[in-house]
Amino acid sequence: MKTTVSTKGQLILPAEFRKQDAIEPGQSFSVERLREGQYRFTRDDAGTNAGLVDWLLSCPVKGFFVPLESESTDTL
């Protein structure tokens, strides 16, 4: 697959790749120059909570959350 460098020096990652790898605007990448004309782009780690909301929303059992009783700090 081919892409072009814009006048601002930006590369466009083809939509097919962005969709396959769930790449969102604002995600960061590292670029490494291997040798003249060869480069490696690697997506930086998203962090330990990446995908947490999607995982929680995918729970097959709804209504599983039950609030725990706790003391208020107002009474301390």
- Domain boundaries, given as residue ranges, for the chain: 1-64
**Residue 75 reports pLDDT greater than 70:** no
**Per-residue confidence at 71, pLDDT binned at 50, 70, 90?**
confident
Q: What is the dihedral of CA 43, 21, 11, 27, to 10 degrees?
A: -50
* Element housing 35 (H / E): strand 29-35
> Would you say the C-alpha torsion 46, 17, 30, 11 has a positive or negative sign?
negative
5-61 per-position pLDDT tens digit: 999 999 889 999 999 988 888 888 999 999 999 999 998 876 667 677 777 777 777
Q: Which CATH class is domain 1-64?
A: mainly beta
Q: Which two tokens stand for residue 7?
A: 């006048």
